[in-house]
Structure 1
Amino acid sequence: MATDYDAPRRTDSDELGADSLEELKARRGGEGTTGVVDEDETATAESYELPGADLSGEELSVSVVPIQNNEFTCSSCFLVHHRSRLARMDGNLPVCQDCA
């Protein structure tokens, strides 16, 4: 379908301006809306259930291994790295290659 972009456009404000005040009052009175929301926001928010949100019955299946002799904890990023990733020692604090 072809569109004539030079033709004047009608907007919603043009249509509302053409209606009389009595027509607008009659149209508004027929809708029956009060503008008051009867719904409690907290009750609505509590009714939503997120998928996988209930983890009360779950147990961790990760085994924690203590730091080994050939590993160090970076004093900047606090990650455990292998000794080969040691870039420098700032006093007694080791720094990894990523943070150096």
Structure 2
Amino acid sequence: MATDYDAPRKTDEESEDSIEELKTRRNDKNSGKVDEDEVEAAESFELPGADLSHEELTVRVLPRQADEFTCYSCFLVKHRSQIAVTRNGHSYCVDCAD
């Protein structure tokens, strides 16, 4: 919503809204909220240290591409343009070369 900062502001005397009107508007805004079942909401939360032994993780490993390398210091896969130095046959990225 655009606001015209050059327009004159309303003073308290010019305001036509009564306290009762404002209270009913506030109540109307809250009436549109959806009640959520607490049990269903709690099931979606993962607690730290929770037992995840029954969960299964599926990972698809892609082969190394011709234009990629793995930094010997941080072990991140990066583009060949990120090679800063190669020592003893090991490549280091720009971030780890210092």
State TM-score, norm by structure 1: 0.44
Q: What TM-score comes out, normalization by structure 2 length? A: 0.44
More helix by share: 1
Return the index of the structure with the highest Cα Rg: 1
